Chains A and B, each alone.
Chain A
């Protein structure tokens, strides 16, 4: 358990679990988005940790994946927050429990 790879992979599993817990228990839509960001970061840490572990691979696939994942995560956050703010203007709330009708 003292190998850095094991520590990092274990930390990223805990991070992923915490993100899932936030998604499942929070009511504020923006805080659910925070949980999604935590889960994305857990995956990114795995990519970098395994790339660091196996440096013989010359294609640097891990950092490439992380680079594209960061770009897509930024896009996802922008669209998600735009949708949440639109819902907020409609209902004056970001509480997902109050969004129980499709016709707004």
Chain B
């Protein structure tokens, strides 16, 4: 019971670093840390496969992609980000605090909590079978989507190169 609590606290600390860090690259690295801690939470809860997928796809691909983009787009006048505008903060907290209040009400009042059950992990065989039987259309759709995304991203990159010539 203490492990999820500790991991949650660590994850929230890392996420607040990602939100508050002044330098963009530091924020990107904090995002990678947050995602890794989420992967550890999945592993602790018994969803081994999901935790490893999270580590490979999110931390290995998405977070690294974001950090590299931040490095590419880095500029000298970076410290502008450091002066957080009070207006944006007022508006941001004005939107976020009511949302947090509603979520806190739902979490503390709305759930009928059963006793703890620490059961064995996600059966990988069943998951694989389900992916290629019940979820086959969804897998095909994801394949089409990823192909479209790959072509689209390549197209974006090529077109801009032509324009700059």
Within 8 Å of chain B (Cβ to Cβ): is A82? yes
Contact A52:B153 (CB < 8 A) given known A17-B103, A45-B38: no
The digit string for B136-156, where 1 denotes a CB below 8 A from any CB of A, is 001000100110011011001
Residues of chain B lying within 8 A (CB to CB) of residue A31:
24, 27-28, 81
Q: Is the CB of A13 within 8 A of B130?
A: no
Residues of chain B lying within 8 A (CB to CB) of residue A17:
96, 99-100, 103
Q: Is the CB of A15 within 8 A of B12?
A: yes
* A1-55, CB < 8 A from B: 1-11, 13-22, 24-28, 30-31, 33-35, 37-38, 41, 44-45, 48-49, 51-53, 55
Chain A interface, >50% SS class: helix
Q: Is the CB of B65 within 8 A of A78?
A: yes
A residues at B contact (CB < 8 Å): 1-11, 13-22, 24-28, 30-31, 33-35, 37-38, 41, 44-45, 48-49, 51-53, 55, 58-60, 63-64, 66-68, 70-75, 77-79, 81-86, 88-90, 92-95
B residues at A contact (CB < 8 Å): 1, 4-5, 8-9, 11-12, 15-16, 18-19, 24, 27-28, 31, 34-35, 38, 41-42, 45-47, 49-50, 53-54, 57-58, 61-62, 65-66, 69-70, 72-73, 75, 80-81, 84-85, 88-89, 91-93, 95-96, 99-100, 103-104, 107-108, 111, 113-114, 116-117, 119, 122-123, 126-127, 130-131, 134-135, 138, 142, 145-146, 149-150, 152-153, 156-157, 159-160, 164
